Structure 1
Amino acid sequence: MKTSGLLLCLFFALGAHAQGTVYTSKEIKSRIYSEAPMENIEAVSAKGISVLNAATGEIQVTIPIRSFQFKKSLMQEHFNENYLESDKYPNAVFKGRINGPLTLTDGEYKVTVTGDLDVHGVKQQRTISGTIRISKGVVSINSVFMVMCKDHNIKIPTLVFKNIAESIQVSISGNYTIYSAPKP
């Protein structure tokens, strides 16, 4: 909850409130998948949060690294302690802007979003493709993209190199509702 409040304050400080409708999601679902010769690795999280300013197209998605759940507890431990160092880098964050105008009428729209992806303390500018669906006032997002471990200084020891792929498929989805400020 602390992270979601901070995220909302950031957007309001940038003037999002005055410029248009703000949508939020407190249940962004994410999945990471790595296909490797020895064993595929998969983890899921439903703890991501996001804010979308419909007028400016600004979007921010924050996913707590420790929220990823693996089938094997040892994989989860190695992921958090050895690879993503989640105590030092607790969140993966994407902050960007939708390229082109955002249409708020019912339908499904292919979009690209350009911004900074911050994983493992390394920011990288990315343009990511996705889909925005609008249905009866509910805004939904879906995106699948690849992240290269080397691009974010995620070290894979040679001893386990065959167990972990150099690229990770990331899937993101979520539904947004219009943000209404709490009444005093």
Structure 2
Amino acid sequence: MNKLILFFLLFIFYGQQPTENKIIARQGRISFFSYTAVEHIKAENNQALSIIDLATGEIAVSMLMNAFVFEKALMREHFNESYIESDIYPKATFDGKIIDFDPAIGGEQTRMIKGVFSMHGVSKELEIKTRIENDEGTYVLSGTFEAFVKDYNIKIPPLLAGNIAKTISIDFRFEYQPYES
């Protein structure tokens, strides 16, 4: 299944373009945290895929929603069946561009990434402040952004509303390698 998603993402994002300026992260890490006085919910997904075109600064990210790992099995079940409905909306994606990105700059730079984040059948434009580390052509992108549960049509039963935060903090880290076709 992961290879099918990789192929689909690569086909859409790059078509038949040369791959010399492309880098890929096959096991990116995305985690989220929901803090309330009643309960903390934390989950991590280490199967996110991302591709960057260094020539244009375009970036694409794709992840399977059912790949999130929770501390409690019941949390995972509720997340996939009741809230995210991963059988209907199996993945989340981000397509965007790194603004003023210069891949030749070594060391660390902070840039904004503008694009569209799609989850649970809803697409929203986002601007994400991102730390980019370049160590002799090996790139690491990391950052944090907030997502409002209501923006993505995720329904929370009134009885459980106190258990889930209205705003979810999302962290990401991708380590890229040259893409070889």
TM range (shorter): over 0.9
Amino acid at match of 1:78: H
Aligned match of 1:87: 87
Deviation at 1:156, TM superposition (A): 1.1
Following TM superposition, the consecutive aligned residue runs of length 4 or more in structure 1 with deviations greater than 6 angstroms are none
Residues of 2 paired with 1:157 and 1:130: CA distance?
Answer: 34
Deviation at 1:12, TM superposition (A): 2.0
* TM-score normalised by structure 2 residue count: 0.95
Aligned match of 1:28: 28
Q: Are positions 1:17 and 2:18 aligned together?
A: yes
Aligned match of 2:9: 7
Deviation at 1:101, TM superposition (A): 3.1
Given that 2:111 and 2:131 are in contact with CA atoms closer than 8 Å, whether structure 1 keeps it comes out as yes
Residues of 1 paired with 2:143 and 2:7: CA distance?
Answer: 24
Amino acid at match of 2:112: T
Gaps of 5+ in 2: none
- 93-102 or 66-75: which moved more? 93-102
Deviation at 1:16, TM superposition (A): 4.7
Amino acid at match of 1:150: K
Q: How many residues align?
A: 179
Aligned match of 2:171: 171
Amino acid at match of 1:9: F
Given that 1:16 and 1:53 are in contact with CA atoms closer than 8 Å, whether structure 2 keeps it comes out as no
Residues of 2 paired with 1:71 and 1:130: CA distance?
Answer: 27
Given that 2:101 and 2:111 are in contact with CA atoms closer than 8 Å, whether structure 1 keeps it comes out as no
Deviations 1:76-127 (A, max 9, x none): 0000000000011011111101111333332111010111000111000111
Amino acid at match of 1:155: K
Q: Are positions 1:122 and 2:122 aligned together?
A: yes
Given that 1:16 and 1:22 are in contact with CA atoms closer than 8 Å, whether structure 2 keeps it comes out as no
Q: Secondary structure at the match of 1:50?
A: strand
Amino acid at match of 2:8: L
Residues of 2 paired with 1:115 and 1:72: CA distance?
Answer: 33
Give 1:54-133 correspondences, 5 Å limit: 54-133=54-133
Root-mean-square deviation (Å):
1.3
Residues of 1 paired with 2:178 and 2:65: CA distance?
Answer: 26
Q: Secondary structure at the match of 2:49?
A: strand
Residues of 1 paired with 2:177 and 2:125: CA distance?
Answer: 27
* Percentage of matched positions with identical amino acids: 32
Residues of 1 paired with 2:67 and 2:177: CA distance?
Answer: 22
Deviation at 1:10, TM superposition (A): 1.5
* TM-score normalised by structure 1 residue count: 0.93
Given that 1:29 and 1:45 are in contact with CA atoms closer than 8 Å, whether structure 2 keeps it comes out as yes
Q: Secondary structure at the match of 1:162?
A: helix
Amino acid at match of 1:119: M
Given that 1:58 and 1:98 are in contact with CA atoms closer than 8 Å, whether structure 2 keeps it comes out as yes
- 97-106 or 117-126: which moved more? 97-106
